[in-house]
Structure 1
Amino acid sequence: MPRRQREATEAAIDLVEAALGDWCNEVREVPVEAKYKSKNLEAERRRRTKLNGKLLALRSLRWRCSQMSKESTLMDAISYIKELEQKKAELQMELAQIPDEDGGKQGSLSSTGTMTATTVPLEAVQLQGKVELSPIGVNKYHLGIIFKNKEGAFVKLLESLSKVGAEVTAVSSVAFSGFSETVLCIEVKDEERFSMAQLKQQLLSMV
């Protein structure tokens, strides 16, 4: 290429670069704004993904699903929760009308919808002696007995067990209102001497 033509070409290139210099600088600044926009966009995507995951988990419970839209799923969930709350209130009302089996407590429903208990004095509860004997394994038995607190009563209990060849392996006892409730685990060492009917009869004579 001739020298003059080459110089003219270089001058034209310099002119174009000078003219486009400011525009190129503006273009370089665009990614900075786009960077902030992309951060917000990623956060929005994560939020939507999280919400969609929760909706899918809600649908997977299979309690009720009239439609597959998000709005229907939320409305169905709200309706179902209200039904459960209503059933809970109805059951609490029924429970408040049923006296306790032991006669010790009777529930009532307060104005706030919570259960309260009315305590009956323990002296008003009529206690009586009781003996329960049931097998729990090979040569092993569960013994529950309620008897009046008398001097030497527990010693007589152990003597009765010893007479039929039974050995105590665990014991738990609690006293209340003049009575004692004792729970024992016993193991029979001498099967020939042991008789459930005989042992129960002896214990009933104690209570």
Structure 2
Amino acid sequence: MDGLCLGGIGGGENGRIGRGQLEDNDDDDDTQYKSKNLEAERRRRLKLSQRLLTLRSLVPKITNMNMATIIDDAVTYIVDLQKNVKALSDQLLETEAPCEDGPKASVDEIDTAQEMEANGVKPDVQVTSIDEHKLWIKIIIPKKKSRFTKLLETLSVCGFELTDTSVTAFKGAMLILSCVEGASGEMLKASRTKDLLLEIIKGI
């Protein structure tokens, strides 16, 4: 009677659970746990690799493809961009600063074309092709408040990116030198870009 009861309860001989069975179950659990961890780690590494590739594509100069170098080069690039933004902002403030005479400032803005003509400075737009994706532009226009800002905003809306930009105010005129690229990397034609710049300048 006792033998029958023990035999019905136990999975092993004489109704007892063998040590081997317990060890097999533990091994299965450990294997599943390790497998899940490996899969999670694989997904994490894949995501990190994709993010690094994205960062690599946004930074024009990467000296090495290891993780630390990519991040260092990205930081350097961002710092340089911040310096360029500050330099352009300072130039913009200097170019568009009102005269000390106050009310006379609006009159001066109206008379800048006459001042340019009196000093022998003529409005001009020149566009030179550097390569199929990059142009060099030179613009001379009468100096007016906020005109440079409006020009940048309009070019940005039209899908252009300006780099290596300098702005100089002289004799009632504003000289703008810059490198222009298409925001989407499309091909740029000098003649078409010049026509577009002339239209933009008329409207600002």
TM-score by length of 1: 0.38
Larger proportion of strand: 1
Larger proportion of helix: 2
TM-score by length of 2: 0.39
- Higher-Rg member (1/2): 1
